[in-house]
Amino acid sequence: MFPYKSIIQIHKSNETPVYLQIANAFAREIQNGVLKPGTKLPGARSLAVLVEVHRNTIAAVYEELSMQGYIELLPKKGAFISKRIPDIKPKPVGSKTRVITYPVASGFLIKEKTSLPEIGLVKKSVLEFNDGLPDERIAPLDDLMRNYRSSFKRRGRIQFGYSDTEGNPMLREAISGYLNETRGLQTTGENIFITKGSQMGIFLVSQLLLDKKDVVIVGETSYPAADTAFKYAGASLVRVKIDERGIDVDAIEKICKTKSIRAVYVTPHHHYPTTVTLSACRRMSLLALSERYGFAIIEDDYDYDFHYKSSPILPLASGDHEGMVINIGSLSKNFSPALRVAYIVAPKNVIAELAKLRFIIDRQGDYLLEQALAELFKEGVIKRHLRKALNIYHERRDILCDLLKTKLSGAVNFNVPDGGLAVWTEFDKSRSLKAITMRAAKNGLVLNDGSHYDEGKNNLNATRLGFASMNAGELEKAVRILSGAISSK
Amino acid sequence: MFPYKSIIQIHKSNETPVYLQIANAFAREIQNGVLKPGTKLPGARSLAVLVEVHRNTIAAVYEELSMQGYIELLPKKGAFISKRIPDIKPKPVGSKTRVITYPVASGFLIKEKTSLPEIGLVKKSVLEFNDGLPDERIAPLDDLMRNYRSSFKRRGRIQFGYSDTEGNPMLREAISGYLNETRGLQTTGENIFITKGSQMGIFLVSQLLLDKKDVVIVGETSYPAADTAFKYAGASLVRVKIDERGIDVDAIEKICKTKSIRAVYVTPHHHYPTTVTLSACRRMSLLALSERYGFAIIEDDYDYDFHYKSSPILPLASGDHEGMVINIGSLSKNFSPALRVAYIVAPKNVIAELAKLRFIIDRQGDYLLEQALAELFKEGVIKRHLRKALNIYHERRDILCDLLKTKLSGAVNFNVPDGGLAVWTEFDKSRSLKAITMRAAKNGLVLNDGSHYDEGKNNLNATRLGFASMNAGELEKAVRILSGAISSK
């Protein structure tokens, strides 16, 4: 007889009832082709003795298997594996020691649709010169939680049902008002589309605008996650020089004369990664070019609110009357990277298309979190926090720049950034930043070797040193480790 | 002289300082091509008198504009619009009454990459036969909030920094354990990828597997949002008949013999929309076919946990030893549509590719919410809730079926569903469901006219009547309105 006892393992502590555990064991062996169609199963009484359960339990097993279609119960004849079950090449025969495992790899092909980069996440709870992240320790998280909770308590279907794909209407209004007041825009809530982080904004816009054969202009140094999204949508990239006044708009004009350009991606307030601000003249020239040649300007204002020299420069979108600019901003920089709320500012027809697109990606955002944020805007908490954060980050920028000047003089070269949350730092070419990075990591300081800012093409030997998430003591400690990593060989 | 007073509007109550309001007004008119390069601006004293502010304010305005690059301050000569500013064709001249508005439409072209369907969201707070949504009023939302809050309070960088794109490791482990116990799987946490709702699962899998020219088999009636995701990825669909034992696997085999099939999309536990369960024999045949022809099976177990007749049938994934099945499940059905947490179960190499893909879409999910859910699993709250919900929904299914039988007899035809959260209801062909739907809506009952379940090809005159989100009284009221809508002309 088939070794039934060996295929049936009963765990009494398991939540699944015993009869179902046994039925599932049978189903598995039928699926494995071990128990063949037409096979007669043992009588309930003898199987009950064999596996040490009550006879009624086995009766329930057979009932279940019959209902699921695995076996047929023939009156007076007994239980048979259904003849409608296909004949399967048997998998290794069951034994008590056999471990059934989940497949280790897919049996179907996965296409390399595009070479997506490997994900490198930084280890937590070490000192880190990150890319320019905010300090969540100073963020008004308690206020956020208070509002989140009270939204949660309201419990209506509005809170807990499906909601607008474009985002929470209150937050769209709040952001519109904030942008109109601080960035010289003339939007209404209908021009605002809420996304999960600016990455989703960039992804949605890429999918909406780009197709195979389209060309996107980006900086010679650029934001790799945006570049990847453009390439994923099928576009090819043309890189343009960045100098101390931002992206070279004359060079863009030359390119436009020779080929059709679909979009230009810029981070004009503080160029990513080098932090330079696009000059007023170039802004106006770029807008004029976009009108002439019909390309879209994707303006990524990722850390707009943090500008220390003069006031923030008005975004390109504020001077756009022809609907050439799609502006992307983020609230994550005000709180923490984990709170992934950002927004796209665009004419209404663009917003409508974005909504259709997002509907098939993830349908909607986090209504409750968005409502809590909207209330923080209304209460003035966001503005108060931004003023406070601006002061703190301004101070931290000065502390870091001072440390770099006094402790690393000769080894690094940098300009004090007018804004943003990181210092673009060039290391002396005689010292490999890659090696420095590895030595620093061993001593508990994580920093980026900067090679991905230009696809590793030129040996930049430069990186962004984010200062906002560290206080004075941490910055000092970090620079000390960095200094050690530079001098040791 | 240029009418400076007319372009400058000062709002003292505005958060933006007065000097900056004036500077922004100048910047705007320069951008508009109204103030031309080389133009000499009035002296600080005379402008101050003109717009009724202190002379120092105007000095600050010119300082700001100079820093931003709009003007040049020449010693002893005064302030001039920078000659580096490009000459722009002027927009309508400024006047006090001119309203500057945001562009009403994009100036660049938006391609119709694919015909994305219009989004139709149901109006809130009316009676609704929805698609089969849970009742958030019985969900353990307070427990969820308690855990969310305590995660929030921990405040570490783990909670508030960037986190794993694959999802919160605790939740991946918890779901793996739950699936192994209830669905006969043998996964580890590494086989689980957390998504924002099952829609994102379907979208990610589509993007990963499908390309132009690929063919996906779906049911003759199918889940429209999945179909759209497949088409968006470039695939074409082949539709296969659904009968009372689920999708016709023999028909699938025939197609495989004539063309290359990339994937088969099924909802085997309760077919969407008709709720029939795929028979055991067909499951095994489908798996065998996938191994023979190399297509992937996308198994969408959207409402797996709710099965009233016999025990839940083990998913296809439980019988898959060759890595042919990608299983998608959702936790939203346990709580509410607004809590968008679902998961993909797949071999590790698939998980790794999914992570790279998601990284460029929105980088990561909601770590805190996922942690709160993981703790609910650990505490046993989820299991307790599912048992309770199963009983309640079972009862509501019976109430609705009883009402349909007694109140709408002759007008509708249906089978009592073995599981799921909706009754597939065919309306007598002599009565147009579209007309019934419109009449019902006028009387406060929203229901779906069902035309999108098969792209409106056959006149199904049938729809899903979701029963789970309504209690006995609400169901009775809904059927009363429906009955009225059927009989009135």
> How far off is chain B from A19, nearest CA to CA, in Å?
10
C-beta atoms of A157 and B355 within 8 A:
no
Residue B483, judged by CB atoms within 10 A of its CB (0-12, 13-18, 19+), counts as middle
Distance from CA of A41 to the nearest CA of B (A): 17
Question: Taking a C-beta distance cutoff of 8 angstroms, is the pair A32, A90 a contact?
Answer: yes
pLDDT at A97: 40
Question: Which of A86-95, B91-100, B350-359, B446-455 has maximum average pLDDT?
Answer: B350-359
Look up residue A137 and give its two tokens: 């320790």
CB nearest to A86's CB, from B122, B141, B288: B288
Q: Give ∠ CA B454-B458-B463 in degrees, rounded to 5.
A: 60
Q: Do B160 and A337 touch (CB under 8 A)?
A: yes
Instruction: Give A417 to chain B, closest Cα distance, Å.
Output: 14
Specify burial of residue A254 (Cβ count, 10 A radius: 0-12, 13-18, 19+). Answer: exposed
Res B405 pLDDT > 90: yes
ipTM summary value: 0.90
CA distances from B426 to A277, A455, A462, B274, B410 (A): 63, 58, 67, 10, 11
Residue written as tokens 């060079």?
A251
pLDDT of residue B204 exceeding 50: yes
Closest alpha carbon within chain B to A188: B102
Q: What percent of chain B has pLDDT over 70?
A: 94
Task: Please report which confidence band the pLDDT of residue B219 belongs to, taking 50, 70 and 90 as the band edges.
Answer: very high
CB contact at 8 A, B427 and B461:
yes
Which chain A residues have a beta carbon less than 8 Å from that of B294? 107-109
Tokens of A309: 């020299």
pLDDT in tens, B269-327: 999 999 999 999 999 999 999 999 999 999 999 999 999 987 788 899 998 989 999 99
Q: What percent of chain B shows pLDDT beyond 90? A: 71
pLDDT tens-digit series, residues A32-91: 888 899 999 999 999 999 999 999 999 999 999 998 889 999 999 999 999 988 887 766
CA–CA distance, B472 with B106 (Å, rounded to integer): 50
**Mean pLDDT of all residues in B406-413:** 95
Question: What does B30-56 look like in DSSP terms, one character per residue?
Answer: HHTTSSPTTPBPPPHHHHHHHHTS-HH
Indicate the pLDDT class of residue B100, thresholds 50, 70 and 90: low
Q: Is A101 in Cβ contact with B362 (below 8 Å)? A: no
Average pLDDT for residues B439-460, to the nearest whole number? 89
Element (DSSP H or E) covering residue B466? strand B462-466
Say how far apart CA A212 and CA A192 lie, in whole Å.
Answer: 28
Structure tokens at A331: 């609230």
Q: Residue A184: which pLDDT band, with cuts at 50, 70 and 90? A: confident
Q: Which residues of A touch B184 (CB under 8 A)?
A: 24, 27-28
- Report residue B17's pLDDT band, with 50, 70 and 90 as the boundaries: confident
What is the DSSP track for A147-186? HHHHHHHH--HHHHS---TT--HHHHHHHHHHHHHHH---
- The arithmetic mean of pLDDT across residues A27-31, rounded, is 87
Average pLDDT over residues B348-355: 94
Q: Cis check for the bond before A337: say yes or no (omega within 30 of 0).
A: no
Res B156: pLDDT: 66
**A341 interaction partners in chain B (CB closer than 8 Å):** none
A290-294, B22-26, B376-380, range with the lowest pLDDT: B22-26
CB pairs under 8 A between A and B: 366
Chain A residues closer than 8 Å to B307 by CB? none
Cβ separation A32–B321 shorter than 8 A:
yes
For testing contact with chain A, the best of B24, B106, B339 (most A CBs within 10 A): B106
Q: What is the pLDDT of residues A306-327, one digit of tens each?
A: 999 877 888 999 989 899 999 9
- Strand order of the β-sheet with A462-466 is A412-414, A422-427, A462-466
Alpha-carbon distance A2 to nearest alpha carbon in chain B (angstroms): 20
How far apart are the CA of A140 and the nearest CA of chain B, in angstroms?
A: 12
Q: Judge: B161–A353 Cβ closer than 8 Å, yes or no.
A: no
Q: pLDDT category, A455, cuts 50, 70, 90?
A: confident
Of A409, A475, A410, the C-alpha closest to A447 is A475
CA B279 to chain A, closest CA, distance in angstroms equals 6
Distance CA B158, CA B148 (A): 14
Give B121's contacts in chain A (Cβ within 8 Å). Answer: 162-165
Give per-residue burial for B58-73: e unless 16+ CB within 10 Å, then b: bebbbbbbbbbbbbbe
Higher per-residue pLDDT: A481 or B117: A481
Give the whole-number percent of chain A exceeding pLDDT 70.
94
CA distance B32 to B81: 13
Name the residue among A24, A111, A137 with its Cβ closest to that of B314: A24
Residues 6+ apart with CB under 8 A from B488: B439
Q: Mutation target for A interface from B160, B302, B368: give the one with most A CBs within 10 A.
A: B160
Q: Inspect the interface and report whether the beta carbons of A85 and B117 lie closer than 8 Å.
A: no
Mean pLDDT of B246-260: 97
Q: Outline where B111-260 has alpha helix (H).
A: 141-154, 157-160, 169-183, 197-209, 224-232, 249-258
**Cβ–Cβ contacts within 10 Å for residue A5, how many?**
13
Q: Scan for tokens 């204002």, then name that residue.
A: A301
Radius of gyration of chain A (CA): 31
Residue type for B335, please?
A: F
Q: How far is A245 from chain B (nearest CA, A)?
A: 10
Confidence (pLDDT) at B94: 47
Widest CA span of chain A, in angstroms?
Answer: 95
pLDDT at A96: 41
Give how far Cα A195 sits from Cα of A351, A406, B10, Å.
11, 42, 34
Say how many CA atoms lie within 13 Å of A286 toward its Cβ. 31
How many other C-beta atoms lie within 10 A of the C-beta of residue A431? 16
Do β-strands A215-219 and A236-240 pair in parallel, antiparallel, or remain unpaired?
A: parallel
Dihedral (C-alpha) A355, A359, A365, A371: value to the nearest 10 degrees? 50
Q: At A123, is the pLDDT very low, low, confident or very high (cuts 50, 70, 90)?
A: low
Residue whose C-alpha is closest to residue A451's, from A433, A427, A428: A433
Per-residue pLDDT, A237: 97
User: Residue B399 to residues A382, B307, B392, B395, B396: CA-CA distances in angstroms?
Assistant: 50, 16, 10, 6, 5
d(Cα B486, Cα B427) in Å, to the nearest integer?
A: 9
Residues with Cβ within 8 Å of residue B103, at least 6 apart in sequence:
A320, A321, A322, A323, A347
Residues of B in contact with A157 (CB under 8 A): 124-125, 136
Q: Could you tell me if A133 and A421 are in contact, meaning their C-beta atoms sit under 8 angstroms apart?
A: yes
Angstrom distances, CA of residue B263 to CA of B203, B280, B329: 14, 20, 18
8 Å CB contact of A318 and B28: yes
Nearest residue in A to B107, CA atom? A323
- Asked whether the beta carbons of A187 and A318 are under 8 A apart, the reply is no
Closest by Cα among B235, B209, B249 to B346: B209
In the three-class reduction of DSSP (H, G, I as helix; E, B as strand; rest coil), residue A297 is classed as: strand
The average confidence (pLDDT) of chain B is 90
Q: Give the mean pLDDT of B75-90.
A: 87
Residue A190 has pLDDT above 90, yes or no: yes
What is the average per-residue pLDDT within B197-222? 95
Instruction: Write down the pLDDT at residue B11.
Output: 85
DSSP output for B83-152: TTS---PPPS---TT------SS-SS-----S-PPPP-PPPSSSEEE-SS---GGGS-HHHHHHHHHHHH
pLDDT band at B155 (very low <50, low <70, confident <90, very high): low
How far, in Å, CA of B48 to CA of A230, rounded?
49
* Helices H / strands E in chain B, number of each: 16, 16
Report the C-alpha gap between A459 and A381 in whole angstroms.
44
The answer to whether the Cβ–Cβ distance between B84 and A281 falls below 8 Å is yes
Reported in sequence order, the residue ranges of A224-290 that DSSP labels E, i.e. its strands, are 236-240, 242-243, 246-247, 263-266
**What are the strands, taking DSSP E only, across A168-311?**
192-195, 215-219, 236-240, 242-243, 246-247, 263-266, 296-301
Query: How many other C-beta atoms lie within 10 A of the C-beta of residue A258?
Result: 7
Q: Which of A206-215, A303-312, A446-455 has the highest mean pLDDT?
A: A206-215
**CB–CB contact B368 A338 (8 Å):** yes
Do B173 and B375 touch, CB atoms closer than 8 A? no
List beta partners, residue A194.
Answer: A343
Residue B96, pLDDT score: 41
Average pLDDT, chain A: 90
Amino acid at A394: H
Residue B273: cis peptide before it, omega within 30 degrees of 0: yes
Burial (0-12, 13-18, 19+ Cβ within 10 Å), A239: middle
**For residues A402-427, average pLDDT:** 96
Q: Kindly provide the b/e burial profile for residues B324-350, where b requires at least 16 CB atoms within 10 angstroms of the residue's own CB.
A: bbbbbbbbbbbbbbbbbbbbbbbbbeb
CA angle A131, A136, A139 (to 5 degrees): 130
